[in-house]
């Protein structure tokens, strides 16, 4: 996955956003992260965790994956959003990190954020973190073969049913162009072309 942006088009103080989430269930563990460029473009990342971990460990893994992706893209200003209050407030320094399994995670992130000029952490309600949550849930529930190459997911928005965009050759056998009926829908009347007058000499 890559971002097609010319280097000269990106000011040094550009602020990116990162949404992250983790999912842990009986099937497995997965993490999802989405980097959001100021113009609204979304760049998703996801990973299946093939080891035992707690819900909080999964959240930290998701955050680290997203931060590392931002570092790889040489992003210097980053706003990080997650729906895990524990992870966010521990990284903000407002809550103590007592669980021995999480101390190393927090220490790693504090080292990684040295790569940024400015990075902030914000709590986000789960219903506002849907894309990262969906990625994490999807990855946690599928079985991935190590030899399989999983291509990135491209998401688009369709504003009409698929059959509305299909022009069947059968429908054009009435000697009218495909847009003939659309003219009627718009004006409630067919536009009839006047026959050309032939001049007699």
pLDDT tens-place string over residues 143-178: 766 666 666 666 666 677 766 666 555 555 566 666
What is the count of structural domains for the chain?
1
Q: Are strands 77-82 and 118-123 parallel, antiparallel or unpaired?
A: parallel
Question: Residue 36: inside a domain, yes or no?
Answer: yes
The verdict on residue 97 lying in a domain is: yes
Average pLDDT over all residues of the chain: 79
Residue 185 lies in a domain: no
Residue 168 included in any domain: no
Percent over 90 (pLDDT), the chain: 40
Range of the domain at 119: 11-141
Q: In the numeric block, which tokens belong to residue 117?
A: 């000029």
> Helix 100-112 vs helix 55-72: angle between axes, to the nearest 10 degrees?
10
Q: Output the domain CATH number for residue 73.
A: 3.30.420.10
Q: Is the predicted pLDDT of residue 74 greater than 50, yes or no?
A: yes
Please answer whether residues 78 and 15 qualify as being in contact, where contact means their C-beta atoms are separated by less than 8 angstroms.
yes
93: left (phi over 0), alpha (psi -120 to 50) or beta: left
Going by pLDDT thresholds of 50, 70 and 90, the confidence category of residue 61 is very high
92 domain residue, yes or no: yes
Residue 104 domain-assigned (yes or no): yes
Predicted local distance difference test score (pLDDT) of residue 5: 44
In sequence order, what DSSP letters do the residues of 96-149 get, joined into one string? ----HHHHHHHHHHHHHGGG-SEEEEEE--GGG-HHHHHHHHHHHHS---TT--
- Please state which of the ranges 69-78, 86-95, 178-187 shows the lowest mean pLDDT: 178-187
141: left (phi over 0), alpha (psi -120 to 50) or beta: alpha
Percent of the chain whose predicted confidence (pLDDT) is above 70: 66
- Token pair for residue 167? 């022009």
Q: 24 in a domain, yes or no?
A: yes
Looking at mean pLDDT, say which of 24-33, 34-43, 79-88 comes out highest.
Answer: 79-88
| 62 neighbors 132 (Cβ within 8 angstroms) | yes
Cβ contact 80:49 at 8 Å = no
Query: pLDDT tens digits, residue range 116-144?
Result: 999 999 999 988 888 888 888 888 887 76
Q: Confirm whether 123 is domain-assigned.
A: yes
Q: Give the 3-state secondary structure of residue 48.
A: strand
């Amino acid at each position: 996955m890559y971002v097609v942006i010319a280097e000269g088009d990106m000011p040094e103080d550009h602020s990116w956003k990162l949404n992250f989430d983790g999912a842990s269930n009986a099937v497995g563990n997965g993490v999802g992260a989405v980097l959001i460029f100021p113009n609204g473009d979304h760049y998703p990342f996801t990973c299946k965790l093939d080891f035992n971990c707690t819900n909080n460990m999964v959240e930290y893994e998701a955050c680290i994956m997203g931060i590392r992706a931002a570092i790889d893209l040489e992003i210097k200003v980053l706003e990080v959003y997650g729906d895990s209050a524990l992870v966010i407030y521990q990284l903000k320094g407002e809550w103590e990190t007592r669980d021995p399994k999480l101390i190393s995670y927090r220490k790693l992130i504090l080292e990684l954020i040295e790569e940024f000029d400015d990075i902030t952490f914000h709590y986000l309600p789960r219903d506002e973190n849907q894309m990262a949550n969906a990625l994490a849930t999807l990855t946690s529930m599928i079985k991935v073969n190590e030899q399989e190459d999983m291509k990135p997911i491209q998401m688009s928005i369709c504003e009409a049913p698929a059959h509305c965009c299909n022009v069947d050759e059968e429908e054009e056998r009435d000697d009218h162009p495909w847009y003939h009926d659309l003219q009627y829908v718009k004006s409630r009347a067919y536009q009839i072309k006047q026959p050309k007058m032939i001049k007699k000499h």
